[in-house]
């Protein structure tokens, strides 16, 4: 998919890939394609925000952390979203996560939520 002038790229590796979460968060199913995030690994954490648990259907969510090891990588999907949708994703993600700009395996720059 080609990127539009107003597109932001958001790398997702967990519940933001779920259709029901995208519909609740963005009001639409978001186009995306596979990519990787090198030098990161996935852990899991308990989510206590009942709204997020209700939307995702899960009380344990993945959370990534930077390792610096080039052998580590997280497999996920890049979503093409608007700035307003980035704001909506910020609202969906609990305080445990923070949004950072990263370089993906494809060489593209994207936002991602890290622990």
Residues 83-103: pLDDT tens digits? 999 999 999 887 778 999 999
The DSSP output letter for 52 is H
pLDDT of residue 47: 78
In a domain, residue 97? The reply is: yes
* Neighbouring-strand partners of residue 66: 40
pLDDT of residue 21: 93
Q: Per-residue pLDDT tens for 21-48?
A: 999 999 999 989 999 999 999 988 887 8
Q: Report the distance separating Cα 92 and Cα 88, nearest Å.
A: 6
Residue bearing the bigger pLDDT, 5 or 88: 88
Name the more confident of 62 and 99: 99
At residue 33, the pLDDT reads 96
Its pTM stands at 0.85
Q: Identify whether 89 is part of a domain.
A: yes
Count of domains for the chain: 1
Question: 93: exposed, middle or buried (C-beta count within 10 Å: 0-12, 13-18, 19+)?
Answer: buried
- CA-CA distance, 37 to 56, in Å (whole number)? 23
Look up the CATH number of the domain holding residue 106: 3.10.490.10
Count CB atoms within 10 A of the CB of residue 94. Answer: 15
- Residue 84 in any domain: the answer is yes
Residue 71: pLDDT band (50, 70, 90) is very high
Which range marks the domain in which residue 13 is found?
8-114
Structural domain contains residue 1: no
């Amino acid at each position: 998919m080609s990127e539009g002038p107003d597109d932001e790229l958001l790398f997702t590796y967990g519940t933001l890939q779920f259709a029901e979460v995208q519909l609740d968060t963005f009001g639409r199913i978001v186009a995306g394609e596979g990519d990787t995030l090198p030098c990161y690994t996935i852990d899991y954490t308990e989510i206590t925000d009942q709204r997020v648990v209700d939307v995702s259907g899960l009380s344990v969510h993945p959370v990534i952390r930077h390792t610096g090891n080039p052998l580590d990588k997280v497999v996920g999907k890049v979503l093409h979203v608007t700035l307003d949708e980035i704001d909506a994703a910020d609202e969906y993600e609990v305080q445990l996560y923070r949004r950072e700009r990263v370089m993906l395996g494809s060489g593209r720059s994207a936002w991602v939520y890290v622990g």
